[in-house]
């Protein structure tokens, strides 16, 4: 409908008024009638606008352009606004769906402290549901520390509290106040983080403790050695004893460095190898620990090869064998062996020594964990040996297994996958058993 139509209607009405009025000699009345028709048309258009105004997002249906223009302008701007609102609502839905995948609980509160929205993690951690939306957070979560925390008006440090829903689970809540008077509460499970922090503290305490003992010995010796009045024979004796605490510190530092290296380097250079090599090199390295009546048997009962790192498996053999020697009574027999086991190869170290009570077995590979036995610290270990073994074996897709009975003896063993036939180069190993 354009303005021509309106002009045409006006001209038509006036013309009709003149023609009809001329014929009946009442032009004035005809013009009056034409005006009434025009006013009627306008009134009809006005009603349409009124009807449209009730639902202004519908396209206006006006026949005359002046009225149509009146409706079209707000209609267009309202339509644009609606599109914008729809896009924003879509964005909001996307953002809310993103919060669903955040592992931390996320609760949006309005200025009354009522829940406006919450994500899946918040529901899980605080046992909430969609039904709680619209309710006050303080009325649906009844954990005292948490209640105190959300009732405090001011933004504050995060608070930690025990979850009443999961045993040994610590939660942390953090509050971020918004400019509009509401707040966002973030709740996360900090159990693992706390455990790691405790482990780190314990580790530092253990390292300091282990280093302090030999350091105290060395500084004691040094005091005597630098005293001009001390007996020269005593000084000579101390000089001979000095290497022992120094060696202890050296071993501890070496083991710590090895452990750190094993933990930090994920890339492992492995090649086809036989376990016979690290077994033999470990026996050679530990020879100074053997006594005259040591009965140590080395059994190489397999020709299979595995994928491994020579130096790392050497340290596995050294640690297991050294422990067997350390914790054996009266130089009892010790056997270090590799043999076929199922489709793979088994490495085992067996002694008939002190043995270990069952309750300790699960914790032996923890750093610095020692069975509290008489003289356990004086036997010379660093407390890191089995932790190193565990890490090396993990890099070789194997685990340390322990069978032990108190007073009877222990067997430490681990299984490796053998090389698949295509990878397995020809090896020429002979079964050997020798007593050293």
Residues that bind ligand ADP (CB under 6 A): 319, 323-324, 327, 351, 353-354, 356, 364, 369-371, 376, 381-387, 410
Q: Which is closer to ligand ADP, CB of 105 or CB of 214?
A: 214
Q: Which two tokens stand for residue 1?
A: 């409908």
The least distance separating ligand ADP from the CB of residue 397, rounded to whole angstroms, comes to: 21
Question: Min. distance of Cβ 410 from ligand ADP in angstroms?
Answer: 4
Shortest separation between residue 427's beta carbon and ligand ADP, angstroms: 30
Q: How far is the CB of 128 from ligand ADP (least distance, A)?
A: 45
DSSP string, 86-110: HHHHHHHHHHHHHHHH-SSEEEEE-
Residue 356 Cβ vs ligand ADP, minimum distance, rounded to whole Å = 5
CA dist 45 and 405 (Å) reads 102
When the beta carbons of 149 and 413 are compared against ligand ADP, the nearer one is: 413
Q: What are the DSSP calls for 303-357, one per residue?
A: ---EEE-HHHHHHHHHHHHHHHHHT-STT--EEEEEEEETTEEEEEEEE-SS---
Residue whose CB is less far from ligand ADP, 176 or 289: 289
Residue 371 or 429 having the CB closest to ligand ADP: 371
Smallest gap from Cβ 383 to ligand ADP, in A, equals 4
Q: Which is nearer to ligand ADP, 71 or 384 (CB)?
A: 384
Give the residue closest to ligand ADP by C-beta: 381
Closest separation in Å from C-beta 327 to ligand ADP: 3
Q: Is 159 exposed, middle or buried (0-12, 13-18, 19+ CB in 10 A)?
A: middle
Q: What b/e sequence results for 343-380 when a residue is b if at least 16 CB atoms lie within 10 Å of its CB, and e otherwise?
A: ebbbbbbbbbbbbbeeebeeebbebeeebeeeeeeeee
Angle at 266 between CA 260 and CA 270, to 5 degrees: 105
Q: Cα separations (Å) of 331 from 206, 211, 249, 323, 324? A: 30, 29, 26, 12, 10
Q: For ligand ADP, which is the closer residue by CB, 105 or 353?
A: 353
User: Please, which residue, 73 or 357, has the CB nearer to ligand ADP?
Assistant: 357
CA distances from 323 to 311, 326, 386, 411 (A): 18, 5, 9, 11
| Residue among 306 and 320 whose Cβ is closer to ligand ADP | 320
| Distance, CA of 40 to CA of 34 (rounded, Å) | 10
Least distance to ligand ADP, CB of residue 297, Å: 15
Task: Please state the separation of Cα 151 from the chain's center in Å.
Answer: 30
């Amino acid at each position: 409908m354009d303005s021509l139509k309106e002009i045409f209607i006006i001209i038509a009405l006036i013309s009709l008024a003149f023609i009809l009025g001329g014929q009946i000699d009442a032009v004035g009345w005809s013009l009056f009638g034409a005006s009434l028709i025009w006013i009627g048309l306008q009134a009809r258009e006005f009603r349409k606008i009124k009807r449209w105004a009730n639902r202004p997002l519908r396209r206006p249906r006006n026949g005359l352009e002046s009225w149509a223009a009146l409706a079209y302008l707000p209609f267009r701007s309202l339509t644009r606004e609606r599109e914008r609102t729809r896009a924003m609502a879509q964005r909001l839905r996307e953002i809310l769906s993103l919060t669903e995948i955040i592992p931390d609980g996320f609760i949006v509160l309005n200025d009354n402290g009522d829940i406006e929205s919450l994500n899946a993690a918040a529901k899980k951690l605080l046992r909430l549901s969609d039904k709680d939306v619209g309710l006050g957070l303080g009325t649906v979560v009844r954990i005292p520390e948490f209640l105190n925390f959300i009732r405090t008006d001011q933004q504050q440090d995060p608070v930690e509290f025990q979850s009443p829903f999961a045993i040994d689970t610590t939660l942390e809540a953090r509050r971020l106040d918004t400019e509009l008077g509401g707040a966002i509460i973030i709740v996360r499970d900090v159990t693992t983080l706390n455990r790691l922090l405790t482990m780190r503290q314990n580790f530092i305490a253990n390292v300091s403790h282990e280093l302090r003992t030999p350091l105290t010995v060395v500084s004691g010796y040094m005091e005597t050695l630098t005293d001009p009045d001390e007996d020269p024979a005593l000084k000579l004796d101390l000089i001979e004893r000095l290497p022992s605490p120094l060696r202890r510190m050296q071993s501890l530092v070496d083991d710590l460095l090895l452990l750190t290296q094993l933990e930090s380097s994920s890339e492992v250079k492995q090649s086809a190898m036989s376990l016979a090599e690290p077994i033999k090199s470990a026996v050679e390295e530990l020879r100074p620990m053997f006594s005259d009546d040591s009965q140590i048997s080395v059994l190489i009962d397999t020709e299979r090869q595995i994928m491994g790192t020579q130096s790392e498996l050497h340290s596995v053999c050294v640690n297991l064998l050294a422990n067997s020697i350390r914790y054996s009574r009266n130089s009892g027999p010790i056997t270090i062996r590799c043999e076929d086991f199922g489709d793979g190869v088994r490495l085992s170290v067996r002694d008939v020594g002190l043995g270990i009570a069952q309750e300790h077995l699960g914790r032996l590979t923890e750093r610095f964990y020692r069975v509290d036995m008489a003289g356990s610290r004086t036997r010379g270990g660093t407390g890191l040996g089995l932790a190193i073994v565990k890490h090396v074996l993990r890099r070789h897709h194997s685990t340390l297994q322990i069978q032990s009975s108190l007073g009877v003896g222990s067997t430490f063993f681990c299984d490796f996958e053998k090389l698949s036939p295509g990878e397995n180069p020809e090896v020429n190993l002979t079964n050997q058993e020798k007593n050293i």
